[in-house]
Amino acid sequence: MDAVELHGVTKSFGAVRAVDGIDLRLARGRTVALLGPNGAGKSTVISMMLGLRAPDAGTVRVLGGTPERAVRAGRIGAMPQTGRLIGGVTVRELVGFVQRAHAAVARGPVPSLDDLLGVARISDLAGRRADALSGGQAQRVRFAMAVAGSPDLIVLDEPTAALDIESRRELWAAIRTCADRGATVLFSTHYLEEADAEADRIVVVDRGRVVADGTSEEIKRRVPGRTVSVDAPTSLDADLSALPGVVSSEVDARRVRLHTTDSDATVLALAAAGAVRNLEVSGASLEEAFLSLTHAEPALVAPIQAEEAVR
């Protein structure tokens, strides 16, 4: 049984079709990144998985039943993109309340409070007021609350948005701990390097439809061509743009980067010109593949993003 199954799911908001007939299955125990430009429908898909919105058509099943049933059973842990922590209580009191609530209804064991604080890397924050934390610290507290019931499915909507590098690393270390214990993790992000590094599988959506689905390497291979890079020679008689296969080039004081449809022919031509030094041949990056597969503009993959236009 898959962790999540979507069949023919659609959702509209007025004249805007946010989700347009998506079919998607997420296997258990995998870490999956959900990518897409602003307004692609990612948050709408997530909200239907959590039972917060009902689809206009199609079916959504989570852990073998309805999303509402999975939520009531404590089998889904979710961390929304935004939200404030309750004021006037310490981190230990807040997380402890959530942990006890899950323990009272759980069908199986849940982490102890100390284990939960340790997993989320917030043990040193236990005595701090929950409403007096930095952005990264507050995100780790939200994560502790999301996994307090030892959920089978963890859903994270832009978990590291606007966090600094160290805070992102700390949060991802906590997420990996839960994934290593067998939880299915679904996360949306605009940080493509996170998807590249952390996801077993990447699902790219655009205009409410799945446009690519596979591993990071499989997604990258959807984009034709390679980049051939060499140290910039002191002199080169050949016209770089005229080399076999080359469609564009970038040259600075240190490196020459040739974008080519035939990397073998390009390398042979460079060798014949005596210009092969510190040769590197690489495929498309995940960002290049993302931009090629969607209608996104380059600005939409910048580190810090606005909320999606279509929720």
In this predicted model, what pLDDT tens digit does every residue of 19-70 receive, in sequence order? 999 999 999 999 999 999 988 999 999 999 999 999 999 999 999 999 999 9
Confidence of residue 303 (pLDDT cuts 50, 70, 90): very low
- CA separation for the pair 4, 27 (Å, rounded): 7
Range with the poorest average pLDDT among 55-59, 78-82, 151-155, 261-265: 78-82
Q: What whole-number percentage of the chain has pLDDT above 90?
A: 67
Full-model pTM: 0.81
* Biggest alpha carbon–alpha carbon distance for the chain: 77
- CA separation for the pair 46, 35 (Å, rounded): 12
| Model pLDDT for residues 35-47, shown as the tens digit of each residue | 999 889 999 999 9
Nearest to 46 by CA among 71, 64, 28: 71
| Model pLDDT for residues 237-274, shown as the tens digit of each residue | 557 778 999 988 888 878 999 989 899 999 999 998 88
Where helices occur in the chain by DSSP H, the ranges are 42-49, 67-72, 91-105, 113-119, 135-146, 165-180, 192-198, 216-220, 263-272, 286-293
What are the angstrom distances between the C-alpha of 31 and each of 101, 104, 165? Answer: 27, 28, 21
- CA separation for the pair 138, 122 (Å, rounded): 9
Q: Which of helix, strand or coil describes residue 229?
A: strand
- CA separation for the pair 219, 221 (Å, rounded): 5
Confidence of residue 306 (pLDDT cuts 50, 70, 90): very low
- Chain Cα centroid distance, residue 207: 18
Query: What's the confidence (pLDDT) of residue 248?
Result: 86
**Amino acid identity of 186?**
L
Confidence of residue 204 (pLDDT cuts 50, 70, 90): very high
Contacts of residue 114, Cβ cutoff 8 Å, sequence gap at least 6: 123
Query: What's the confidence (pLDDT) of residue 307?
Result: 35
